[in-house]
Structure 1
Amino acid sequence: MKKAIVLAANYSYADQVRTTIKSVCYHNRDIKFYLINSDFPNEWFINLNKKLEKLNSEIVNARVDINQVNRYKTDISYTVFLRYFIPDFVEEDVALYLDCDLVVTKGLDELFSVELENYSLAAVKDLGGLNYYNEVIFNAGVMLVNNKKWKEDNTLQKLIDLTNEFHNKVSQADQSILNMLFKDNWLELDFSYNAITLHTNFAKYDILADDYPTIIHYLTERKPWKIYSQCVFREVWWFYNNLDFINIDGDVPELYKNMIVSNFEKTVLVYTYTDSLLNIDYLIRNLPKVKFVVAAPVVVSHNISRLLKYSNVEIASDIAVIRGFGSYLISISDILLDINYGGEVDNVVSLFAEQNKPVLAFKSMKHGEQGQVVFEDNTPEDMVNYIKSTLMKNI
Structure 2
Amino acid sequence: MKNLVLIINEKNSYGRHLGATLLSVLKNSKENWNVNIIYENLSLETKSKLSEMIKSYGSKINYIEMDKEILKKFKVGKGTHLSSIVFARLFIPEFLKQEERALYLDCDVVVLKPLEELYNMDLQEKSIGVVLDGKKDQKSSLSRLNLNLDRTYFNAGVMVMDLKKLRENSKFLKTIDYCLNPDRELQLNEQDALNIIFENDYMTNNVVWNYTHGNSEENSYTENEIGIVHFTGDIKPWDCRSYSPYKHLYWKYLNETPWKGFEEENKTLKNILKRELVKFKLKTRKIRYALKGKK
One-letter amino acid of the structure 1 residue matched with residue 37 of structure 2: L
Change over 3 Å in CA distance of 1:154–1:124 after alignment to 2: same
Change over 3 Å in CA distance of 1:117–1:324 after alignment to 2: farther
Q: 2:207 aligns with which of 186, 191, 194?
A: 191
CA RMSD of aligned residues (A): 3.0
Name structure 1 gaps, 5 residues minimum: 246-303, 309-313, 332-345, 352-395
SS state of the match for residue 87, structure 2?
helix
One-letter amino acid of the structure 1 residue matched with residue 247 of structure 2: R
Please give the alpha-carbon distance, in whole angstroms, between the structure 1 residues aligned to 2:205 and 2:195.
Answer: 15
**Structure with more helix by fraction:** 2
Contact 2:24 2:111 in 1 (8 A): yes
Q: 2:133 aligns with which of 119, 122, 126?
A: 126
2:179 aligns with 163
1:325 aligns with 282
Change over 3 Å in CA distance of 1:113–1:75 after alignment to 2: closer
Identity %: 25
Change over 3 Å in CA distance of 1:229–1:11 after alignment to 2: closer
Please give the alpha-carbon distance, in whole angstroms, between the structure 2 residues aligned to 1:109 and 1:80.
Answer: 24
1:214 aligns with 227
Change over 3 Å in CA distance of 1:50–1:229 after alignment to 2: closer
Aligned residue pair count: 260
1:14 aligns with 15
TM-score with structure 2 setting the length: 0.78
One-letter amino acid of the structure 2 residue matched with residue 37 of structure 1: Y
* Distance apart, 1:157 and its partner CA: 2.3
Please give the alpha-carbon distance, in whole angstroms, between the structure 2 residues aligned to 1:10 and 1:217.
Answer: 18
Please give the alpha-carbon distance, in whole angstroms, between the structure 1 residues aligned to 2:108 and 2:50.
Answer: 19
Q: 1:111 aligns with which of 118, 125, 145?
A: 118
Contact 2:171 2:198 in 1 (8 A): no
Q: 1:82 aligns with which of 76, 81, 88?
A: 88
Please give the alpha-carbon distance, in whole angstroms, between the structure 2 residues aligned to 1:317 and 1:210.
Answer: 21
Q: 1:237 aligns with which of 250, 266, 280?
A: 250
Contact 1:196 1:218 in 2 (8 A): yes
TM-score with structure 1 setting the length: 0.59
Change over 3 Å in CA distance of 1:323–1:169 after alignment to 2: farther
Where in structure 2 are the equivalents of 1:255-294 lying within 5 Å? none
Q: Which protein has greater RCO, CA pairs closer than 8 Å, 6+ apart?
A: 2
Change over 3 Å in CA distance of 1:193–1:167 after alignment to 2: farther
SS state of the match for residue 223, structure 1?
coil
Name structure 2 gaps, 5 residues minimum: 76-83, 144-148, 259-266
* Distance apart, 1:244 and its partner CA: 3.8
Change over 3 Å in CA distance of 1:21–1:167 after alignment to 2: farther
Please give the alpha-carbon distance, in whole angstroms, between the structure 2 residues aligned to 1:47 and 1:221.
Answer: 26
Contact 1:33 1:60 in 2 (8 A): yes
The reply to whether residue 49 of structure 1 matches residue 55 of structure 2 is no
* Distance apart, 1:213 and its partner CA: 0.8
1:306 aligns with 269
1:23 aligns with 24
Whose Rg is larger?
Answer: 1
1:261 aligns with none
